[in-house]
Amino acid sequence: MRALVVTEPGNPGSIAVRELPDPSPRPDEVIVRVTSCGLCGTDMHLLGGELPAAVYPLVPGHELTGEIVAVGGAVTGPAVGDRVAVDPNMPCGACHYCRIGRGNLCGDYTAIGITRSGGFAELAAVPARCCHVLPDGLSEAAAGLVEPLSCAVHGLNRLPRRPGEHYLIYGAGTMGLMMAALVRTAGAASVSVVDLNEDRLAFAESFGVDAAVTGADALGRGPGFEVVIDATGAVAAIEDGLGRVRRGGTFLQFGVADPSRTASFSPYRVYHHEIDIIGSMAVHNSFRPAIDVLAAGLDLDALVSDVFGLQEFDEAVARFRAGTGRKIHIAPQKG
Protein backbone atom coordinates (compact mmCIF):
# COMPACT_ATOMS: atom_id res chain seq x y z
CA MET A 1 0.00 0.00 0.00
CA ARG A 2 0.96 3.66 -0.33
CA ALA A 3 1.33 5.66 2.84
CA LEU A 4 2.69 9.01 3.94
CA VAL A 5 5.56 8.43 6.38
CA VAL A 6 7.21 10.97 8.70
CA THR A 7 10.59 9.65 9.80
CA GLU A 8 12.25 12.75 11.29
CA PRO A 9 9.97 15.49 12.66
CA GLY A 10 10.96 19.02 11.76
CA ASN A 11 12.70 17.86 8.58
CA PRO A 12 10.47 18.36 5.50
CA GLY A 13 12.75 16.06 3.53
CA SER A 14 11.82 13.16 5.80
CA ILE A 15 8.15 13.31 4.81
CA ALA A 16 7.43 11.10 1.81
CA VAL A 17 4.89 8.75 0.27
CA ARG A 18 6.29 5.23 0.52
CA GLU A 19 5.28 1.70 -0.36
CA LEU A 20 4.61 -0.27 2.83
CA PRO A 21 3.39 -3.83 3.37
CA ASP A 22 -0.38 -4.12 3.58
CA PRO A 23 -1.38 -4.39 7.25
CA SER A 24 -2.97 -7.53 8.67
CA PRO A 25 -5.49 -7.26 11.50
CA ARG A 26 -4.74 -8.42 15.00
CA PRO A 27 -7.60 -10.40 16.61
CA ASP A 28 -9.34 -7.23 17.87
CA GLU A 29 -8.63 -5.07 14.82
CA VAL A 30 -10.11 -4.32 11.42
CA ILE A 31 -8.49 -3.07 8.23
CA VAL A 32 -10.03 0.10 6.84
CA ARG A 33 -9.65 1.12 3.21
CA VAL A 34 -9.26 4.83 3.87
CA THR A 35 -11.34 7.06 1.62
CA SER A 36 -10.82 10.35 3.47
CA CYS A 37 -8.63 11.72 6.24
CA GLY A 38 -8.73 15.32 7.40
CA LEU A 39 -5.70 17.55 7.84
CA CYS A 40 -5.68 19.60 11.04
CA GLY A 41 -3.51 21.70 13.32
CA THR A 42 -2.47 18.64 15.32
CA ASP A 43 -0.88 17.27 12.16
CA MET A 44 1.10 20.48 11.75
CA HIS A 45 2.48 20.11 15.28
CA LEU A 46 3.27 16.47 14.55
CA LEU A 47 5.18 17.31 11.36
CA GLY A 48 7.20 19.88 13.26
CA GLY A 49 8.04 17.60 16.17
CA GLU A 50 5.96 19.72 18.56
CA LEU A 51 3.75 16.89 19.81
CA PRO A 52 5.49 15.13 22.72
CA ALA A 53 3.25 12.06 22.55
CA ALA A 54 4.02 11.31 18.88
CA VAL A 55 6.03 8.19 18.04
CA TYR A 56 8.22 8.20 14.91
CA PRO A 57 8.54 6.94 12.25
CA LEU A 58 4.83 7.45 11.83
CA VAL A 59 1.99 7.40 9.34
CA PRO A 60 -0.06 10.39 10.57
CA GLY A 61 -3.76 11.10 10.07
CA HIS A 62 -6.35 10.84 12.86
CA GLU A 63 -9.54 12.07 11.14
CA LEU A 64 -10.12 8.96 9.06
CA THR A 65 -13.09 7.30 7.47
CA GLY A 66 -13.44 4.46 5.00
CA GLU A 67 -14.67 0.92 4.37
CA ILE A 68 -13.77 -2.19 6.35
CA VAL A 69 -12.06 -4.74 4.11
CA ALA A 70 -10.84 -7.29 6.68
CA VAL A 71 -11.53 -8.17 10.32
CA GLY A 72 -9.58 -9.95 13.04
CA GLY A 73 -10.67 -13.30 14.43
CA ALA A 74 -12.07 -11.90 17.68
CA VAL A 75 -14.10 -9.08 16.11
CA THR A 76 -17.85 -9.40 16.63
CA GLY A 77 -18.85 -5.80 15.88
CA PRO A 78 -18.33 -4.04 12.55
CA ALA A 79 -18.11 -6.26 9.48
CA VAL A 80 -16.45 -6.31 6.09
CA GLY A 81 -18.23 -3.85 3.83
CA ASP A 82 -19.28 -1.49 6.61
CA ARG A 83 -18.53 2.18 6.03
CA VAL A 84 -17.09 3.63 9.22
CA ALA A 85 -15.68 6.70 10.87
CA VAL A 86 -12.81 5.97 13.24
CA ASP A 87 -12.47 7.49 16.69
CA PRO A 88 -8.67 7.84 16.97
CA ASN A 89 -8.58 8.14 20.76
CA MET A 90 -7.72 5.06 22.81
CA PRO A 91 -7.88 5.80 26.55
CA CYS A 92 -6.23 3.15 28.71
CA GLY A 93 -9.30 2.49 30.86
CA ALA A 94 -7.17 2.00 33.97
CA CYS A 95 -5.77 5.38 35.03
CA HIS A 96 -7.44 7.76 37.51
CA TYR A 97 -9.12 9.85 34.81
CA CYS A 98 -10.45 6.85 32.91
CA ARG A 99 -11.83 5.38 36.14
CA ILE A 100 -13.75 8.57 36.95
CA GLY A 101 -15.23 8.76 33.44
CA ARG A 102 -12.87 11.40 32.00
CA GLY A 103 -11.19 9.27 29.33
CA ASN A 104 -10.27 12.29 27.19
CA LEU A 105 -7.88 13.27 30.02
CA CYS A 106 -6.28 9.79 30.10
CA GLY A 107 -2.86 9.72 31.73
CA ASP A 108 -1.61 6.96 29.40
CA TYR A 109 -2.63 8.55 26.11
CA THR A 110 -2.49 6.63 22.83
CA ALA A 111 -4.13 7.56 19.53
CA ILE A 112 -4.35 6.50 15.93
CA GLY A 113 -2.22 8.77 13.75
CA ILE A 114 -0.18 9.99 16.72
CA THR A 115 1.22 7.05 18.68
CA ARG A 116 0.39 4.44 16.02
CA SER A 117 -0.10 4.47 12.25
CA GLY A 118 -3.06 6.48 11.01
CA GLY A 119 -5.13 7.42 8.00
CA PHE A 120 -2.75 9.07 5.55
CA ALA A 121 -2.49 5.65 3.91
CA GLU A 122 -4.51 3.49 1.56
CA LEU A 123 -5.10 0.99 4.37
CA ALA A 124 -5.16 1.39 8.16
CA ALA A 125 -5.29 -1.22 10.92
CA VAL A 126 -7.46 0.09 13.79
CA PRO A 127 -9.14 -1.44 16.85
CA ALA A 128 -12.67 -2.55 16.03
CA ARG A 129 -13.94 -0.70 19.12
CA CYS A 130 -12.85 2.59 17.53
CA CYS A 131 -15.09 2.10 14.49
CA HIS A 132 -18.53 3.69 14.22
CA VAL A 133 -20.72 2.46 11.38
CA LEU A 134 -22.04 5.33 9.28
CA PRO A 135 -25.66 5.63 8.15
CA ASP A 136 -26.51 5.15 4.49
CA GLY A 137 -26.55 8.32 2.46
CA LEU A 138 -24.01 10.28 4.51
CA SER A 139 -21.78 12.18 2.08
CA GLU A 140 -18.04 11.57 1.89
CA ALA A 141 -17.43 15.14 3.02
CA ALA A 142 -19.64 14.67 6.07
CA ALA A 143 -18.04 11.32 6.90
CA GLY A 144 -14.64 12.97 6.91
CA LEU A 145 -15.88 15.67 9.29
CA VAL A 146 -17.10 13.32 12.02
CA GLU A 147 -13.93 13.44 14.14
CA PRO A 148 -13.57 17.24 14.29
CA LEU A 149 -17.32 17.60 14.74
CA SER A 150 -17.13 15.24 17.71
CA CYS A 151 -14.65 17.67 19.30
CA ALA A 152 -17.12 20.50 18.73
CA VAL A 153 -19.97 18.43 20.18
CA HIS A 154 -17.91 17.89 23.33
CA GLY A 155 -17.28 21.65 23.48
CA LEU A 156 -21.02 22.28 23.16
CA ASN A 157 -21.68 19.79 25.95
CA ARG A 158 -19.39 21.79 28.22
CA LEU A 159 -21.56 24.90 27.81
CA PRO A 160 -24.74 25.78 29.75
CA ARG A 161 -26.75 25.95 26.46
CA ARG A 162 -29.51 28.29 27.60
CA PRO A 163 -31.86 29.24 24.72
CA GLY A 164 -31.92 32.88 23.68
CA GLU A 165 -28.30 33.70 24.52
CA HIS A 166 -25.90 35.66 22.32
CA TYR A 167 -22.67 33.95 21.27
CA LEU A 168 -19.35 35.39 20.13
CA ILE A 169 -16.84 33.04 18.49
CA TYR A 170 -13.22 33.91 17.75
CA GLY A 171 -12.08 32.05 14.65
CA ALA A 172 -13.99 31.47 11.41
CA GLY A 173 -12.09 28.34 10.46
CA THR A 174 -13.58 24.86 10.38
CA MET A 175 -13.81 24.44 14.14
CA GLY A 176 -15.22 27.90 14.80
CA LEU A 177 -17.91 27.44 12.16
CA MET A 178 -18.77 23.98 13.43
CA MET A 179 -19.32 25.51 16.86
CA ALA A 180 -21.42 28.25 15.24
CA ALA A 181 -23.62 25.65 13.55
CA LEU A 182 -24.03 23.64 16.75
CA VAL A 183 -24.88 26.55 19.05
CA ARG A 184 -27.47 27.68 16.55
CA THR A 185 -29.17 24.29 16.88
CA ALA A 186 -28.97 24.71 20.68
CA GLY A 187 -31.14 27.83 20.54
CA ALA A 188 -28.72 30.74 20.31
CA ALA A 189 -30.36 34.12 19.76
CA SER A 190 -27.41 35.27 17.67
CA VAL A 191 -23.99 33.98 16.63
CA SER A 192 -21.19 36.38 15.69
CA VAL A 193 -17.65 35.49 14.61
CA VAL A 194 -14.37 37.38 14.64
CA ASP A 195 -11.48 36.56 12.32
CA LEU A 196 -8.70 38.48 10.58
CA ASN A 197 -9.01 36.46 7.36
CA GLU A 198 -11.41 38.31 5.02
CA ASP A 199 -12.05 35.22 2.88
CA ARG A 200 -13.09 33.25 5.94
CA LEU A 201 -15.37 36.06 7.05
CA ALA A 202 -17.07 36.14 3.64
CA PHE A 203 -17.68 32.39 3.83
CA ALA A 204 -18.92 32.67 7.42
CA GLU A 205 -21.59 35.12 6.29
CA SER A 206 -22.73 32.70 3.60
CA PHE A 207 -22.69 29.92 6.21
CA GLY A 208 -25.39 31.69 8.20
CA VAL A 209 -23.76 33.55 11.08
CA ASP A 210 -25.39 36.80 12.11
CA ALA A 211 -22.22 38.89 11.86
CA ALA A 212 -18.65 38.26 10.70
CA VAL A 213 -16.14 40.98 11.56
CA THR A 214 -12.41 41.58 12.02
CA GLY A 215 -12.89 43.07 15.49
CA ALA A 216 -15.58 42.69 18.14
CA ASP A 217 -15.91 46.46 18.60
CA ALA A 218 -17.74 46.53 15.26
CA LEU A 219 -20.53 44.44 16.77
CA GLY A 220 -21.55 47.24 19.10
CA ARG A 221 -22.80 44.95 21.84
CA GLY A 222 -22.13 47.02 24.96
CA PRO A 223 -23.26 44.57 27.65
CA GLY A 224 -21.20 41.80 26.10
CA PHE A 225 -22.13 38.22 25.22
CA GLU A 226 -23.52 35.46 27.37
CA VAL A 227 -21.11 32.98 25.78
CA VAL A 228 -17.71 33.68 24.23
CA ILE A 229 -15.79 30.87 22.54
CA ASP A 230 -12.16 30.99 21.50
CA ALA A 231 -11.49 28.65 18.56
CA THR A 232 -8.10 30.17 17.67
CA GLY A 233 -5.71 29.51 20.53
CA ALA A 234 -4.28 33.00 19.91
CA VAL A 235 -3.50 34.89 23.11
CA ALA A 236 -4.70 38.22 21.70
CA ALA A 237 -8.07 36.69 20.83
CA ILE A 238 -8.35 34.98 24.21
CA GLU A 239 -7.63 38.18 26.13
CA ASP A 240 -10.06 40.18 24.03
CA GLY A 241 -12.73 37.51 24.34
CA LEU A 242 -12.48 37.31 28.11
CA GLY A 243 -13.28 41.00 28.20
CA ARG A 244 -16.41 40.51 26.10
CA VAL A 245 -18.17 38.07 28.44
CA ARG A 246 -21.33 39.50 29.93
CA ARG A 247 -21.98 39.40 33.69
CA GLY A 248 -22.88 35.85 34.65
CA GLY A 249 -21.61 34.57 31.29
CA THR A 250 -19.29 31.80 30.13
CA PHE A 251 -15.95 31.74 28.33
CA LEU A 252 -15.01 28.48 26.56
CA GLN A 253 -11.37 27.81 25.69
CA PHE A 254 -11.80 25.55 22.69
CA GLY A 255 -8.80 26.52 20.54
CA VAL A 256 -5.38 24.95 21.12
CA ALA A 257 -2.90 27.52 22.41
CA ASP A 258 0.89 27.34 22.45
CA PRO A 259 1.69 25.62 25.80
CA SER A 260 4.41 28.16 26.51
CA ARG A 261 2.09 31.19 26.26
CA THR A 262 0.01 32.82 28.99
CA ALA A 263 -2.96 35.18 28.83
CA SER A 264 -3.80 38.06 31.17
CA PHE A 265 -7.24 38.64 32.65
CA SER A 266 -8.85 40.32 35.64
CA PRO A 267 -9.47 37.84 38.50
CA TYR A 268 -11.60 40.48 40.18
CA ARG A 269 -13.88 40.67 37.15
CA VAL A 270 -14.20 36.88 37.07
CA TYR A 271 -15.20 36.99 40.74
CA HIS A 272 -17.39 40.07 40.67
CA HIS A 273 -19.23 39.17 37.46
CA GLU A 274 -19.43 35.44 38.24
CA ILE A 275 -17.83 34.49 34.92
CA ASP A 276 -17.35 30.80 34.21
CA ILE A 277 -14.14 29.87 32.39
CA ILE A 278 -14.31 26.39 30.87
CA GLY A 279 -11.90 24.25 28.87
CA SER A 280 -12.78 21.64 26.25
CA MET A 281 -10.23 19.06 25.13
CA ALA A 282 -10.71 16.62 22.25
CA VAL A 283 -13.49 14.03 22.22
CA HIS A 284 -15.53 12.71 25.14
CA ASN A 285 -18.58 10.50 24.57
CA SER A 286 -19.30 12.66 21.54
CA PHE A 287 -18.34 10.58 18.51
CA ARG A 288 -21.66 8.81 18.02
CA PRO A 289 -23.65 12.00 18.76
CA ALA A 290 -21.66 13.78 16.04
CA ILE A 291 -22.70 11.12 13.52
CA ASP A 292 -26.30 11.35 14.68
CA VAL A 293 -26.31 15.15 14.29
CA LEU A 294 -25.06 14.82 10.71
CA ALA A 295 -27.57 12.07 9.94
CA ALA A 296 -30.34 14.29 11.30
CA GLY A 297 -29.58 16.91 8.68
CA LEU A 298 -26.81 19.23 9.90
CA ASP A 299 -25.24 20.15 6.57
CA LEU A 300 -21.53 20.91 6.89
CA ASP A 301 -20.39 19.73 3.45
CA ALA A 302 -19.46 23.25 2.35
CA LEU A 303 -16.77 23.34 5.04
CA VAL A 304 -14.66 20.99 2.91
CA SER A 305 -12.91 23.17 0.35
CA ASP A 306 -10.12 20.89 -0.92
CA VAL A 307 -9.45 17.19 -1.47
CA PHE A 308 -5.86 16.17 -2.21
CA GLY A 309 -4.23 12.82 -2.98
CA LEU A 310 -1.27 11.47 -1.01
CA GLN A 311 1.18 12.69 -3.67
CA GLU A 312 -0.21 16.20 -3.24
CA PHE A 313 0.44 16.29 0.51
CA ASP A 314 2.99 19.11 0.31
CA GLU A 315 0.46 21.25 -1.55
CA ALA A 316 -2.20 20.45 1.03
CA VAL A 317 0.11 21.47 3.89
CA ALA A 318 1.09 24.70 2.13
CA ARG A 319 -2.56 25.58 1.62
CA PHE A 320 -3.36 24.79 5.24
CA ARG A 321 -0.53 26.93 6.57
CA ALA A 322 -1.46 29.82 4.27
CA GLY A 323 -4.96 29.82 5.74
CA THR A 324 -6.59 29.57 2.33
CA GLY A 325 -9.68 27.49 1.83
CA ARG A 326 -11.41 25.70 4.69
CA LYS A 327 -11.23 22.04 5.68
CA ILE A 328 -8.69 20.04 3.69
CA HIS A 329 -9.12 16.30 3.20
CA ILE A 330 -6.55 13.78 2.02
CA ALA A 331 -8.02 11.02 -0.16
CA PRO A 332 -5.46 8.16 -0.21
CA GLN A 333 -7.25 6.33 -3.03
CA LYS A 334 -6.96 9.37 -5.30
CA GLY A 335 -4.40 9.30 -8.12
Query: Which amino acid type is present at position 312?
Result: E
Of 188, 236, 255, 191, give the one whose Cα is nearest residue 41: 255
CB contact at 8 A, 149 and 155: no
Residues 140 and 287 in one domain: yes
Cis-peptide, bond into residue 332, ω within 30° of zero: no
Report the chain's C-alpha Rg in angstroms.
Answer: 20
Q: Give me the pLDDT at residue 40, please.
A: 95
Query: Which amino acid type is present at position 5?
Result: V
User: How do strand 123-127 and strand 29-39 relate by DSSP bridges?
Assistant: antiparallel
Of 146, 180, 141, 195, give the one whose Cα is nearest residue 306: 141
Whether residue 20 is contained in a domain is answered as yes
Residues 294 and 314 in one domain: yes
Q: Give me the pLDDT at residue 124, please.
A: 98
- CATH number of the domain at 19, please: 3.90.180.10
Residues 219 and 127 in one domain: no
Whether residue 33 is contained in a domain is answered as yes
Residues 50 and 180 in one domain: no
Residues 64 and 46 in one domain: yes
Residues 91 and 194 in one domain: no
Residues 99 and 233 in one domain: no
**Residue count of the chain:** 335
Gap between the Cα atoms of 142 and 110, Å rounded: 25
Residues 258 and 295 in one domain: no
- CATH number of the domain at 181, please: 3.40.50.720
Residues 40 and 120 in one domain: yes
Whether residue 103 is contained in a domain is answered as yes
Residues 95 and 177 in one domain: no
Residues 248 and 325 in one domain: no
Angle between helices 146-157 and 174-185 (to 10 degrees): 50
Q: Give me the pLDDT at residue 109, please.
A: 86
Angle between helices 146-157 and 287-295 (to 10 degrees): 110
Instruction: Please report which helix (H) or strand (E) contains residue 317, including its range.
Output: helix 313-322
Gap between the Cα atoms of 323 and 22, Å rounded: 34
Of 273, 308, 15, 304, give the one whose Cα is nearest residue 141: 304
Measured CA angle at 194 (ends 191, 196), to 5 deg:
155
Residue 14's domain comprises 2-150+283-330
Whether residue 335 is contained in a domain is answered as no
Gap between the Cα atoms of 126 and 119, Å rounded: 10
Whether residue 273 is contained in a domain is answered as yes
List the chain pLDDT tens, one digit each, 335 residues: 999 999 999 998 999 999 999 999 999 999 999 999 999 999 999 999 988 889 999 999 999 999 999 999 999 999 999 999 999 999 999 999 999 999 999 999 899 999 999 999 999 999 999 999 999 999 999 999 999 999 999 999 999 999 999 999 999 999 999 999 999 999 999 999 999 999 999 999 999 999 999 999 999 999 999 999 999 999 999 999 999 999 999 999 999 999 899 999 999 999 999 999 999 999 999 999 999 999 999 999 999 999 999 999 999 999 999 998 899 999 999 97
Domain boundary among 279, 295, 313: 279
CB contact at 8 A, 64 and 89: no
Q: Is the pTM of the predicted complex or chain greater than 0.85?
A: yes
* Count: domains in the chain: 2
Residues 257 and 308 in one domain: no
